[in-house]
Amino acid sequence: MERTFLMIKPDGVQRGLISNIIGRFETKGFTLVGLKFMAVSRELAEKHYDVHRERPFFAGLVDFITSGPVVAMVWEGEGVIASARKIIGATKPLEAEPGTIRGDLGVTVGRNIIHGSDAPETAQAEIALWFTDSELVSWEPAAKGWLYE
């Protein structure tokens, strides 16, 4: 079963959106396998956003992501990587469709509420960067037979 890394950014936490956001993935039918509320070090933030290191917004992005606590999560399910990206919506909240997290809850790209892995390789790397094996719980939800044929 596929897994993805999702992180509610400091703006989502400060704005009291944690339950709204987690609820969307839970009611969709995905399975939570890792969850932690944490401060983010500069070192972790820079590794996480390493692909954007040369972009003009990199320093501001690292400042932002380390500016307050975040909710780091791993979710599991069929097609969860691409589906979570759809649930999250476009990078720029003004371009994100209504019904998506960014489309419903955000305005500007530098405050776009949540991160989600964009492909199987990045999902695997980000899960390993943010979680140890022992922090991830493999379990079988009782509803599984009602979610999957």
Least separation in angstroms between CB 84 and ligand DAT: 11
Residue placing its CB nearer to ligand DAT in the complex, 64 or 141: 64
Is 20 marked as a binding-site residue? no
**Where along the sequence are the contacts to Mg ion (CB under 5 A)?**
118
The piece of 12-20, 72-80, 104-112, 127-135 that touches ligand DAT (CB under 6 A) is 104-112
Is 102 marked as a binding-site residue? yes
- Please answer whether residues 8 and 37 qualify as being in contact, where contact means their C-beta atoms are separated by less than 8 angstroms: no
Closest residue to bound Mg ion by CB: 118
In the residue annotation, 52 being an active-site residue is answered as no
Is 25 marked as a binding-site residue? no
- Is residue 32 part of the contact set for ligand DAT (CB under 6 A)? no
Footprint of ligand DAT (CB under 6 A):
52, 57, 61, 91, 109-110, 112, 115, 118
Annotated binding site for ATP, which residues?
Answer: 9, 57, 85, 91, 102, 112
